[in-house]
Structure 1
């Protein structure tokens, strides 16, 4: 029994072909949108790639770019096919192509769905990449004279100002690293030398943060040194002065930023997938209805169209049998080493003679 059988008159077939022609051209535009979204996401990731660990998170924008280009090509071809199918006589030139086209489009729509799911499933990998990347960037913040790292100070400062964040998980992350270069430390001062000697690794650690951590909305001048020393500042309590520094960590700020972008893109891709699936369904109905018209021989007659000629279970069983038969043919070819002229010897009694007795072996003449 056919799945979703629908009866089409000639007028309905022509209108279906015209609507599908328009929808395919709209799909070309949606393919260009997918390409643009993938390109935008790739640029946004590359803008802050120095703040991310070397992990493969580029596969999401690359997937969207590839899907967008393929969508433009497939839907352009689909528009041409549907335009010609308005005239049933022109359907003959596409008859052998339409079924492979529908199968390829089906797998393409599946790839679109995978691309949408990728946008929602990369949060964990992105968070780990940001965590490791920001940790390294803060560790090399002081290396302004080291080639390849001299730009990190400016990058981290601009990040904290733009996203109103401080540190990796919070401002206290700066207390655990030496973020001031040794060239700017006066080693003759007792306070500096004592602080370095008190550290096992010989680092100059202090309860201070870079200026970029200062909250511009704070009602008092920024306190970025001796943050935990209440007596060092007038009318100050570091546990309640939350407006003086940015409280949010940069990892969380960047994660929210990229998550919002990916979720928006994922929703757009999901809507595109539903649209592509509806167009594919319409093309399948058009193909089956036109094939039935050719069987009847009358281009003006009514014809049935369906999604599947048999039920889902029957279709799966038929395809499984086809795969099994292909596997058996492959085994026979392997046994013959790919040579069809090799005959496999048989032991059937029909080859022995009328008395079913094997012929005697005669010795060769010496």
Structure 2
């Protein structure tokens, strides 16, 4: 029994073909939108690729959207031409052999659109892991301004912290564990610098300070970037005790280590800031792609009805007659079993003990036996 059987008159078939012609042109526009979304997402990812690790996996999403968008423009442009010719039976004949492969290609394309929507919602963990490792490496290479392959890392990290109002990987204290000042800017004859270098097993110059890009532009006072370790043991300035200690500590005069330093730095980590940015972007793109997938599924369903109805008209031999259209000629189980048997037969091979129909085929000949006298030597 056919699945989704619907009867169409000649006028209904023509109206369906005209509507599908219009919807296919709308699908060309949605394909261009998909391509634009892929380009936008790729630009956003490439913009901060220096603070990411394993960019190849993340880049799968924009490339999928771009390829799907181009395919949508091509497939739906061809679909518009086919649907326009389906309004006439004679013009439909030249597309009869092309229509079924077109429906199969449209089905695969629609599946790719769905895959793009699911990727937008499923790459969250991969993106977070990429940012976690990438930001850690970028902070490590922040000081390497004289290394050709890493000279732009400092500029990228500073731009990231200023634009997204963040500091460090998880917070500003992450800068305490890396040497972010290049050695050529250190006074190696200073005893204080020498003591700090000797106090670290790796010979790194560590200090409780942060780069200038961590300073908050919303702070009313000066930005305190150094001697920040003791800030964690002080009360928060929003509390009564914190305000009292802040006023009595002389921090208003800009002394280093004053409590003002805690509120003059961005508190949010850059990994969280970037994740919020990319999550909002991918969710918007994923929702748009999902809507486009539903629209393409509607167009595919209409094209399938039009194809089967026009083929049944040719079988009946009367262009003005009423004909049935369907999604599947048989039930889902029967269709799946038939396709499985076809695939199974393609991989079937004959074994040595099985009978090969191409071997030992008997032939009937009317040839007369030669006389024995002719065969004698």
- Corresponding position of 1:18: 18
Partner of 1:344: 359
Q: Does 1:289 align with 2:290?
A: no
Alignment check: 8 A CA contact 1:185 1:192 kept: yes
User: After alignment, is 123-132 or 226-235 more displaced?
Assistant: 226-235
Q: Confirm whether residue 234 of structure 1 aligns to residue 235 of structure 2.
A: no
CA shift digits 1:46-100 (9 cap, x unpaired): 1121111244121111111111111111101100000000112211111111111
Find the counterpart in structure 2 of residue 37 from structure 1: 37
Query: Contact (CA 8 Å) 1:27, 1:71: kept in 2 or not?
Result: yes
The corresponding residue for 2:95 is 94
- Alignment match of 2:327 (pick from 307, 320, 325): 307
Partner of 1:60: 61
Partner of 2:229, secondary structure, is coil
User: Cα offset for 1:238?
Assistant: 7.6
Question: Equivalents in 1 of 2:261, 2:225: separation in Å?
Answer: 12
Pairwise CA RMSD of aligned residues?
2.6
> Structure 1: how far apart are the matches of 2:339 and 2:260?
69
Q: d(CA) in 2 for partners of 1:238 and 1:55?
A: 41
**1:191: how far off?**
2.1
CA contact (8 A) 2:224 2:261 kept: no
Partner of 2:154: 153
User: Shift of residue 188 of structure 1?
Assistant: 2.9
1-structure distance, mates of 2:18, 2:275: 45
- Return the offset for 1:324: 2.8
Q: TM-score, normalised by structure 2?
A: 0.85
How far 1:169 moved relative to its partner? 1.1
The CA deviation at 1:167 is: 0.5
Distance 1:237 1:285 in 2: 75
Matches of 1:223 and 1:87 in 2, distance apart? 79
Partner Cα separation in structure 1 for residue 40 and residue 257 of structure 2 = 44
Distance 1:213 1:44 in 2: 22
User: 1:168 — aligned with what?
Assistant: 169
Residue 296 of structure 2 is aligned to residue 280 of structure 1 = no
CA–CA separation in structure 2 for the residues paired with 1:54 and 1:286:
46
SS in 2 for 1:229: helix
Q: How many residues align?
A: 342
> Contact (CA 8 Å) 1:217, 1:243: kept in 2 or not?
no
* Contact persistence 1:229–1:238 (CA under 8 A): no
1:212 aligns with 2:213: yes
Choose 251-260 or 15-24, whichever is displaced more: 251-260
- Residue 357 of structure 1: aligned partner: none
Q: Which piece of structure 1 moves more, 149-158 or 224-233? A: 224-233
- So what's the TM-score if we normalise by structure 1? 0.87
**TM superposition shift of 1:312:** 0.8
Deviation per residue, 1:272-327 (Å, 9 max, x gap): 11111100000011111111111222111111111111111111122222223333
Aligned to 2:121: 120
The 1:323–1:183 alpha-carbon spacing in structure 2 relative to 1, beyond 3 Å, is: closer
Deviation at 1:237, TM superposition (A): 8.1
Note if contact 2:221-2:260 (Cα within 8 Å) is conserved in structure 1: no
State the Cα distance separating 1:190 from its structure 2 match.
2.6
Give the whole-Å Cα distance in 2 for the aligned partners of 1:278 and 1:319.
Answer: 24
Separation of aligned partners in 2, 1:2 and 1:226: 78
CA displacement, residues 118-158 of structure 1 (integer Å, 9 cap, x when unaligned): 11111111111111211111111112222222222121111
* Residue equivalent to 2:270: 250
CA-to-aligned-CA distance 1:183-239 (integer Å, 9 cap, x gap):
222233332222221111111111100111011111221111001236996349888
**C-alpha contact 1:228 1:238 (8 A) present in aligned 2:** no
CA distance in 2, matches of 1:303, 1:151: 68
Give unpaired runs (5+ residues) of structure 2: 235-245, 363-377
How far the C-alpha of 1:261 sits from its partner, in A, is: 1.3
Q: Distance in 2 between matches of 1:250 and 1:183?
A: 27
